Amino acid sequence: MEPIGQAGKAPWDASRRPSASWQHLISIPHAALLAERERWILWLSVFFALGISLYFAAGQEPALWTGPGLSLVALGLLWRWRSAAGPRLMALVFTMVCVGFATAQLRSAWVEAPRLERSWGPGQLTGEVLELETRPSGRRLLLRPLAMAGLAAENLPARVRVTAAATDDGLSPGDTVTLRARLRPPSAPTMPGSFDFARQAYFQQLGGIGFTLGPVHRVEVDPALEHRHAASLKQHWSLFWADARHRIAARIQSRLPGQSGAVAAALVTGQRSALAEETRENMRAAGLAHLLAISGLHMGLVTGLLFFAVRAGLALMPGLALRRPIKKWAAVAAGLGGLLYLCLVGFTIPAQRAFIMVSIVLLAVLLDRRAISLRLVAWAALAVLLAAPESLVSASFQMSFAAVVALVSVYEGWERSPASLEMRRRLAGRLALYVLGIALTSLVAILATSAFAAFHFQRLAAFGLLANLVAVPLTAFVIMPAAVIGVMLMPFGLEALGFVPMGWGIDALLFIAAWVAGLPGALIAVPPMPLWGLVCVTLGGLWLCLWRGSWRYWGLPLAIAGALSPALFQPPDLLVSGDGRLAALRDAGHRLWVADRRGNRFVIDSWQRGSYARDVVRWPRSGQAAEGALRCDPLGCLYRKEGMLLAISWDPRGVAADCAVADVVVSLEPLRRQACSGPQVVVDRFDLWREGAQALWLDGGGLRRTTVLDTQGLRPWSALKDRQRPED
Q: Sheet containing 702-707: give its strands across.
A: 615-618, 591-594, 583-586, 574-576, 694-699, 702-707
Top-confidence residue, 476 or 211: 211
Taking a C-beta distance cutoff of 8 angstroms, is the pair 279, 336 a contact?
no
Taking a C-beta distance cutoff of 8 angstroms, is the pair 312, 487 a contact?
no
HSE at residue 538, side-chain half, CA atoms within 13 A, is 23
Would you place residue 2 in the very low, low, confident or very high pLDDT band (cuts 50, 70, 90)? very low
Residue 6 has pLDDT above 50, yes or no: no
pLDDT of 25 reads 56
> pLDDT tens-digit profile of 145-188?
999 998 998 899 999 999 998 776 778 888 899 999 999 999 99
Top-confidence residue, 610 or 673: 610
pLDDT of 32 reads 77
> pLDDT tens-digit profile of 67-108?
999 999 999 999 999 888 888 889 999 999 999 999 999 999
Taking a C-beta distance cutoff of 8 angstroms, is the pair 264, 249 a contact?
no
Give Cα separations from 469 to 443, 466, 516, 620, 680 (angstroms).
Answer: 10, 5, 12, 48, 56
pLDDT of 35 reads 83
Would you place residue 718 in the very low, low, confident or very high pLDDT band (cuts 50, 70, 90)? very high
pLDDT of 11 reads 45
Residue 130 has pLDDT above 60, yes or no: yes
Class at the top of the CATH hierarchy for domain 120-221: mainly beta
> pLDDT tens-digit profile of 481-492?
899 899 889 988
Top-confidence residue, 704 or 348: 704
- How big is the CA angle at 336 (ends 332 and 340), to the nearest 5 degrees? 170
Q: Which amino acid is at 603?
A: V
Q: How far apart are CA 232 and CA 243, in angstroms?
A: 16
pTM (predicted TM-score): 0.87
| Per-chain mean pLDDT for the chain | 85
Q: How far apart are CA 105 and CA 64, in angstroms?
A: 7
Please, is 90 exposed, middle or buried when counting C-beta atoms within 10 Å of its C-beta (0-12, 13-18, 19+)? Answer: middle
Highest mean pLDDT among 272-281, 305-314, 555-564 belongs to: 555-564
Top-confidence residue, 19 or 411: 411
pLDDT of 416 reads 62
Q: What percent of the chain has pLDDT over 90?
A: 38
> pLDDT tens-digit profile of 233-257?
777 788 888 888 888 998 999 899 8
> pLDDT tens-digit profile of 520-576?
989 899 999 999 999 999 999 999 999 988 888 999 999 999 999 999 999 999 999
pLDDT of 371 reads 62
Residue 200 has pLDDT above 90, yes or no: yes
pLDDT of 71 reads 95
**DSSP letter string over 609-673?**
HHTT-SEEEEPPSSEEETTTTEEEETTEEEEEETTEEEEEESSGGGHHHHHHH-SEEEESS---G
Q: How far apart are CA 605 and CA 598, in angstroms?
A: 12
Taking a C-beta distance cutoff of 8 angstroms, is the pair 692, 723 a contact?
no
Please, is 687 exposed, middle or buried when counting C-beta atoms within 10 Å of its C-beta (0-12, 13-18, 19+)? Answer: buried
Residue 384 has pLDDT above 70, yes or no: yes
Residue 279 has pLDDT above 60, yes or no: yes
Q: How far apart are CA 368 and CA 347, in angstroms?
A: 28
pLDDT of 27 reads 62
